[in-house]
A and B are shown apart, each in its own frame.
Chain A
């Protein structure tokens, strides 16, 4: 195989972790959302096991509705799984743990009633960080994404791209080791996405955080990830794990290489069947309703 290496998920995690303890351990996690009646319950995740080592950038990729965001919420302690365990830094997760885990949502969650700087200060206050350090840390993170001149703006004065950039910086400034990103660039246009992706790759190379990133963009996954975990249609299972052996920071030129294109093609092949299956299931549900 020319591009990445398709291997069983467990084989990869065993090799990737080596001797170091993994930052995130997901073992045999299943999730079922109870409906009003038993027939309405949704089986979202099925027996997911995955180890993510410290400093690794993992992308969860899959057709829409496959439970990748659900898995991210479970890792972040925002949702409680039905079966299995999730540990971050060796401790099982049962509720949000801002000391270890920062969570960045799909839409900007900057509070509109505070300025950018106040938003950062609040995040640090919630985290329980001493007031003396607030300003420095906030300004540092803002300048890391090139937004320091907007510190005293209100979110509504900024474009969607700027807001999401700042949202990302807020996730970084609290200094958590693990960063969970739920399609953070989904609402952005293609060009802004690319610029932000590059920013993220640079930041990652500099800070060595452990990142789990949910996306349904193939190019984004290949460009950013050290490892791409492909999920099946609902109920979500791990279909394949693909390594992207390219050091960070990555430049946009990486997208023009054969290696990039080959991994992308491979991912497309893996996803095509799953997407077909999802579409077929949606048609079936629609017909059943009609």
Chain B
């Protein structure tokens, strides 16, 4: 894309964002009961400042981020290991692939109370829940990636005298990388959504918990402040995931 086109697109995007905030501001000036559900932007901004200065944001963010990291690490390691092991044989793929994709189709949210029952109301239940949910797309994509490596490349590498390890390192791995990465990215966002969602349902700490509490107490300015933090966090994580992806694509 030409730099000028890019500039135009960015300008329009920021324009839409500004229009949204402008509409928000104008609506809150018109008064009425709406104020209770939709506080003015400057009130939300003030509340955000309070949450930052009081340290509430940092302690909640710490709990949530650590849970996400733990859950994602478990999902990625177990998902790739299981996916790779299953993809080793046609029979195993036929056996496990439909089971895993069937389980992934079930809304695991319904099982969340079980996670609380087994792992307690603390962060552990959110870690287990997020890891379980993110495991499925990672494992399924890894299976697809490794079982669909083009036979032509395998035959060619065999004809060229590649050893088993060389075939894995230079043919299987690079061939399977793009689809595996897609699984890791889907898993990443499912993991974040699951941990935050779990926190809003049953937790003692974390950003999700703080958001739900603000809603229960009808502290709407605070509620919007927490939501704004979640939006900022998502945008930053998305940028991080994009950066990782473009780097691995270049390699």
Q: Footprint of B on A, CB under 8 Å?
A: 76, 78, 96-99, 101-103, 105, 107, 109, 111, 113-114, 122-123, 125-128, 174
Shortest beta-carbon contacts, A-B, top 3: A98-B161, A109-B156, A113-B174
- Chain B positions within 8 Å of A109 at CB level: 152-153, 155-156
In the complex, the answer to whether A111 meets B166 with C-beta atoms within 8 Å is no
Separation of A128 and B166 alpha carbons in the complex (Å): 11
26 A-B residue pairs with Cβ-Cβ distance under 8 Å, sorted by A, are A78-B158, A97-B161, A98-B159, A98-B161, A99-B161, A101-B159, A102-B159, A102-B160, A103-B160, A105-B152, A107-B152, A109-B152, A109-B156, A111-B171, A111-B174, A111-B175, A113-B175, A114-B170, A114-B174, A122-B160, A125-B166, A126-B160, A126-B161, A126-B163, A126-B166, A174-B160
Separation of A98 and B158 alpha carbons in the complex (Å): 9
- Chain A positions within 8 Å of B174 at CB level: 111, 113-114
In the complex, the answer to whether A122 meets B161 with C-beta atoms within 8 Å is no
In the complex, the answer to whether B161 meets A78 with C-beta atoms within 8 Å is no
In the assembled complex, how far is the CB of residue A166 from the closest CB belonging to chain B, in whole angstroms? 13
Residues of chain B in range 44-85 having any CB-CB distance to chain A below 8 Å:
none
In the complex, the answer to whether B161 meets A103 with C-beta atoms within 8 Å is no
In the complex, the answer to whether A76 meets B152 with C-beta atoms within 8 Å is no
Of B153, B159, B161, B177, which contacts A111 at CB under 8 A? B153
Across the interface, name the chain A residue whose C-beta is closest to B171: A111
Q: Main secondary structure on chain B at its contact with chain A? A: helix
The winner among B152, B160, B170, B177 for most chain A CB atoms within 10 A is: B160
In the complex, the answer to whether B160 meets A127 with C-beta atoms within 8 Å is yes
In the complex, the answer to whether B156 meets A96 with C-beta atoms within 8 Å is no
In the complex, the answer to whether B153 meets A96 with C-beta atoms within 8 Å is no
In the complex, the answer to whether B166 meets A105 with C-beta atoms within 8 Å is no
Interface string of B111-127 (1 = CB under 8 A from A): 00000000000000000
In the complex, the answer to whether B158 meets A96 with C-beta atoms within 8 Å is yes
In the assembled complex, how far is the CB of residue B159 from the closest CB belonging to chain A, in whole angstroms? 4
Q: Footprint of A on B, CB under 8 Å?
A: 152-153, 155-163, 166, 170-171, 174-175, 177
In the complex, the answer to whether B161 meets A127 with C-beta atoms within 8 Å is yes
Across the interface, name the chain A residue whose C-beta is closest to B161: A98
Separation of A103 and B154 alpha carbons in the complex (Å): 13
Q: Main secondary structure on chain A at its contact with chain B? A: loop
Separation of A111 and B153 alpha carbons in the complex (Å): 7
In the assembled complex, how far is the CB of residue A118 from the closest CB belonging to chain B, in whole angstroms? 9
In the assembled complex, how far is the CB of residue A127 from the closest CB belonging to chain B, in whole angstroms? 5
In the assembled complex, how far is the CB of residue B196 from the closest CB belonging to chain A, in whole angstroms? 36
In the complex, the answer to whether A123 meets B160 with C-beta atoms within 8 Å is yes
In the complex, the answer to whether A122 meets B152 with C-beta atoms within 8 Å is no
- Chain B positions within 8 Å of A78 at CB level: 155, 158-159
Given contact pairs A111-B171, A113-B177, a sample of 13 additional A-B residue pairs in the complex whose CB atoms are under 8 Å apart: A78-B155, A78-B158, A78-B159, A96-B161, A99-B161, A105-B156, A107-B152, A109-B152, A109-B155, A111-B153, A111-B170, A126-B160, A127-B161
Separation of A247 and B177 alpha carbons in the complex (Å): 49
- Chain A positions within 8 Å of B152 at CB level: 105, 107, 109
In the assembled complex, how far is the CB of residue A105 from the closest CB belonging to chain B, in whole angstroms? 6
Separation of A102 and B159 alpha carbons in the complex (Å): 7
- Chain A positions within 8 Å of B171 at CB level: 111
Across the interface, name the chain B residue whose C-beta is closest to A123: B160
In the complex, the answer to whether B153 meets A122 with C-beta atoms within 8 Å is no
In the assembled complex, how far is the CB of residue B41 from the closest CB belonging to chain A, in whole angstroms? 49
- Chain A positions within 8 Å of B163 at CB level: 126
In the assembled complex, how far is the CB of residue A238 from the closest CB belonging to chain B, in whole angstroms? 25
- Chain B positions within 8 Å of A103 at CB level: 156, 159-160
Separation of A127 and B157 alpha carbons in the complex (Å): 10
- Chain B positions within 8 Å of A127 at CB level: 160-161
Across the interface, name the chain B residue whose C-beta is closest to A128: B161
- Chain B positions within 8 Å of A99 at CB level: 161
In the assembled complex, how far is the CB of residue A90 from the closest CB belonging to chain B, in whole angstroms? 19
Separation of A125 and B160 alpha carbons in the complex (Å): 9
Separation of A286 and B98 alpha carbons in the complex (Å): 35
Across the interface, name the chain B residue whose C-beta is closest to A77: B159
Of A76, A113, A122, A128, which contacts B159 at CB under 8 A? A76
- Chain A positions within 8 Å of B156 at CB level: 103, 105, 109
Beyond A111-B171, A111-B174, A113-B174, is A126–B157 a contact (Cβ under 8 Å)?
A: yes
